[in-house]
């Protein structure tokens, strides 16, 4: 079971169709079952039986999730693999001590992999879809895995299987979700 967390401004919003459902379709196509829950409703027991968590993105104008950091405090103690997409990466950066600043990217952007990691095993560049008004300028303890000309694009926690990607992998880079989930399948995400 993969838990998809909806970070949009309210439960069952119009953003759910655009930012959660496309990720759910990728995950289900890979043979996993999914469950979706709004970030307000994530409880301590929510992650029981969950193999991995994906924090999904939000509309460009929607940064309401940043106002309620206590809703994400479970990330600090969880050992479950987590992939944060866009708003999800911003959340992860904030929770683990990083800093966000205004940085707008809308549309296709070139991303360069700068750090070795199981999720990005080779140094290479790829084009990805971006939709954000903030970016992580100080990653805190997080390791930087990839960057664009404008900002940090991929981070990983130094000791936990927690990743953040600033780009939207559900648009033209489904392989990133696939690779993340294949690592959870093998229980192979080691620091």
Partner 1 sequence: MRPGREIMGEMKLGVLCSGGKDSVFACGRAMEKEEVVCLIAIRSENEESYMFHTPNVAFVTLQAEAAGLPLIEMKTAGVKEEELLDLRNALILAREQFRIEGVVTGALYSVYQATRVQRLCRELGLWCFNPLWHTAQEDYMQVLIKKGFEVIVSGVFAAPFDESWLGRRIDLHSLPLLEKYSEQYGIMLTGEGGEYETFVLDAPFFRKRIEIREASSEYRNYRGIYRIVRAGLVEK
41 scored as a contact of partner 1 (CB under 8 A):
no
> Which is catalytic among the residues 86, 93, 136, 151?
86
- Judge contact between 15 and 62, C-beta under 8 A: yes
How far CA 165 is from CA of 43, 44, 140, in Å, comes to 24, 24, 15
The set of residues, in sequence order, having a beta carbon less than 8 Å from that of 44 and lying 6+ positions away, is 74
Q: How far is the CB of 137 from partner 1 (least distance, A)?
A: 20
Among the listed residues 2, 62, 152, 184, the single contact to partner 1 using CB under 8 A: 62
Residue 70 or 122: the one with the smaller Cβ distance to partner 1 is: 70
Binding region for partner 1 (CB under 8 A) out of 12-20, 47-55, 85-93, 175-183: 12-20
Strands 34-38, 52-55: parallel, antiparallel or unpaired by DSSP?
Answer: unpaired
Residue list 99-138, contact with partner 1 (CB under 8 A): 104, 106-108, 129, 131, 133
Catalytic annotation present for 105: no
Strands 152-156, 162-165: parallel, antiparallel or unpaired by DSSP?
Answer: antiparallel
148 phi/psi in degrees, rounded to 5: -115, -175
1 scored as a contact of partner 1 (CB under 8 A):
no
Residue list 162-181, contact with partner 1 (CB under 8 A): 170-172
- Judge contact between 53 and 3, C-beta under 8 A: yes
Residue 46 or 71: the one with the smaller Cβ distance to partner 1 is: 71
187 scored as a contact of partner 1 (CB under 8 A):
no
SS3 57: coil
As given in the structure block, the two tokens for residue 22 are: 């496309």
**Dihedral of the CA atoms 132, 137, 142, 143 (nearest 10)?**
100
Q: How far is the CB of 27 from partner 1 (least distance, A)?
A: 13
Q: Which residues are catalytic?
A: 86, 168, 170
Residues that bind partner 1 (CB under 8 A): 9-10, 12-15, 17-18, 21-22, 25, 59-62, 64, 67-68, 104, 106-108, 129, 131, 133, 170-172
């Amino acid at each position: 079971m993969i838990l998809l967390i909806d970070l949009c401004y309210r439960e069952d919003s119009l953003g759910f169709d655009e930012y959660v459902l496309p990720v759910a379709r990728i995950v289900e196509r890979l043979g996993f079952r999914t469950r979706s829950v709004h970030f307000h409703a994530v409880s301590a027991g929510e992650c029981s039986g969950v193999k991995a968590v994906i924090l999904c993105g939000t509309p460009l104008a929607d940064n309401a999730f940043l106002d309620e950091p206590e809703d994400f405090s479970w990330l600090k103690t969880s050992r479950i693999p987590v992939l944060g997409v866009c708003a999800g990466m911003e959340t992860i950066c904030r929770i683990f001590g990083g800093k966000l600043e205004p940085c707008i990217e809308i549309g296709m952007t070139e991303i360069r992999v700068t750090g070795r990691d199981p999720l990005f095993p080779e140094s290479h560049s790829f084009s990805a879809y971006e939709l954000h008004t903030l970016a992580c300028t100080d990653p805190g303890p997080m390791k930087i895995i990839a960057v664009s000309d404008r900002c940090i694009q991929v981070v990983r926690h130094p000791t936990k299987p927690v990743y953040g990607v600033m780009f939207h992998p559900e648009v033209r880079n489904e392989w990133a979700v696939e690779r993340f989930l294949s690592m959870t399948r093998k229980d192979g995400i080691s620091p």
